[in-house]
Structure 1
Amino acid sequence: MVCRDQTDMQRCPHTMLLLSQLPEDVLYHILSHLDCTSLSRLSQVCKSIYRFVSRDEVWRKIAKECLNTGITRNGTDIYPDLQLKERVKVAHNWLDGLCKRTIPLKWKTKLLPWLQLDGDMLYLSQAADIGAFHLCRESGRLQRHPSEIFSGHRGDVCRFVLTDSHL
């Protein structure tokens, strides 16, 4: 029997092990029965399990079944420098048709943004520009690109005020 944490072990009448305390060969055997999604979720439990689940040996069985992971049918790894976990992730995204080309908004750490929401418009300052993004009412998501950009400021716009007709 396996306990979830130290407090469970104190309450249990029998001596029990944490999942991360199991011998490696037993843990490999247990993890060999999990699918890609389950392994990814299990890796979020704690740092020690994350490190263990990130090993190539854990992902080898799944990688053999995936297309374009660099593992041949006889088990040879064509790309030993790349983590199998990442190659399986790319293969699954490729199979599902998922491709993310855009990067979330970024700015330098010294330039703090200022946000202001007005109805279905979100105004966001980044450096010397203020972008106006539409919010979709159904999903609550932002447009990827601003509908308007207010620029012409000389320095970092760290604060602004929005009124009925002026920004």
Structure 2
Amino acid sequence: MSIRVGVALYLVKGSIYYNTPSYFHWVLVASAAESWASQPVRALELKRPFNYAGYAHSFDSYDISRSSAFRGVVHLFMTSNYTLNSFQAMIQSNFPAYDSGWRFPGNYGPQGWTCATWILQILWHLLGEGTWVSNRQFEQTYTRILNLGGELLEATNNADYQGAVRVMYF
């Protein structure tokens, strides 16, 4: 049985008052269903809980489209190398929530430790083990996902609608 893997993008709006920019919060999502329309999906997330100095993992299954901040999914790949449970277990055991020092290779990527850095570190591992095969250079991953997120914001016709979920293909 194959699972599909993608990045759900949530728009966090900036504030003119606090001089903060808008940005996408990235959530790694996986599903054994044939379409992203089938909810709930497994959400593997790095987030900063309130009243907590660092980051924490969140592994949960929920309907990703329920949030008003949700913009869509960037579909990355399908694989039969993992089940949902083994995929989550691999991430839990190999990719801690704290900053492990991994940084995006090349000149274009997130600065510091973020949800995007954490997911890119996981994708780098999946690329290395042959689970994720892409015809793009890895260094293009960050900007490609951001560009597809921009297209989701503009509601272009390039998006594939799978129920309430807009999907862009990496």
Question: Normalising to structure 2: TM-score of the pair?
Answer: 0.20
**Is the strand fraction higher in 1 or 2?**
2
Question: Which of the two has greater helix per residue?
Answer: 1
The one of the two structures with greater contact order (alpha-carbon pairs below 8 A, sep at least 6) is 2
Q: Normalising to structure 1: TM-score of the pair?
A: 0.21
